[in-house]
Amino acid sequence: MEKKMEKSKLIVIAIGGNSLIEDAKHVSVVSQYEAARKTASHIVKLVEKGHRVVIAHGNGPQVGFILLRAEYAKSILHTVPLDSCVADTQGAIGYQLQMALLNEFNRVNLSKQVATVVTQVEVHPEDPSFKKPSKPIGSFMSEQDAAEHRKQDGWDVMEDAGRGYRRVVASPKPVSIVELETIRTLLNNDIIVIAAGGGGIPVVRHTDGSLEGKEAVIDKDLAAALLAKELKADMFVISTAVEKVSLHYGRPEQVDLSTITLEECQQYVDEGHFAPGSMLPKVQAMMDFVTSTGNVGLITNPENIYGALYDDKGTKIVEK
């Protein structure tokens, strides 16, 4: 069994936007809050142990809802730029997580404060993804609607496996967290922080130092890994839909992994064990963190976040 963690560790936890939507029949704001409350209850256990926590979250489904509303309302309202959509979800999801955490703290008689930081994440203006957008967002469209958006709104659109057309945008790599010092100051004052939601609001910095928002989507796990590195976190946790990372996932010969080294991670990546749109970016983000810091990373589902630290649940990624 792994050595028990000491108190006062700084832990960055990345939770998926799908963590707030338990199934397709429960997507209302009320249902999303209930899902947030369940996740918060597991995170509060870590705070009770004395750990400092930063929470990053996904926002894929929620941005999709905003874009769909905008599509229905386009005849009477202006469209919402994608960077503003990300900012909107940072506020809305941050609010749900803040309230859920405060309610859980109240339930266990723990006096803690929580703050959400609307977070800009700098990307390079010459990132290759801007020249070849490939990240699908929003709902499916007919060929006619796709052509109209391409002409009127300048969208890049792509046919998706015979199911219709979708808008595609750039997904540049995160370079730096603009509000890093704000986040650090809050942590130093013992405040639980929610930051870099949805991978952060993508911005580019001009030669005069000014910032400008970009229509793009930053991978949430890569942004959370960057945040964990820049904060020099003691541990980085990615919360996902499964308890452990697996080889041959979903097959009779599936093998669940408890502890894997960086060398083993690279071998499994090279062998194609992890799906590009699912586990692969999580493993790669974790490898980046462990390589840079030498600290331990964890991948598990929300209900095993505490158990991954104390009861050998989840999958640990270690240097060697």
Residue 69 sits at φ, ψ, to 5 deg, of -60, -40
Q: Read off the DSSP letter of residue 272.
A: T
Single-letter amino acid, residue 271: E
What is the C-alpha to C-alpha distance for residues 69 and 73, in angstroms, rounded to an integer?
6
**Catalytic positions, please?**
17-18, 135, 220, 282
What is the C-alpha to C-alpha distance for residues 227 and 19, in angstroms, rounded to an integer?
20
Q: Report whether 195 contacts 119 (CB < 8 A).
A: yes
The helix/strand/coil state of 74 is: coil
What is the C-alpha to C-alpha distance for residues 134 and 160, in angstroms, rounded to an integer?
11
Which residues are CB-contacts of 49 (< 8 A; sequence separation ≥ 6)? 5, 7
What is the C-alpha to C-alpha distance for residues 276 and 88, in angstroms, rounded to an integer?
27
What is the C-alpha to C-alpha distance for residues 222 and 287, in angstroms, rounded to an integer?
10
Residue with tokens 């993804």: 129
What is the C-alpha to C-alpha distance for residues 55 and 15, in angstroms, rounded to an integer?
7
DSSP of 32-59, one letter per residue? HHHHHHHHHHHHHHHHHTT-EEEEEE--
What is the C-alpha to C-alpha distance for residues 74 and 83, in angstroms, rounded to an integer?
18
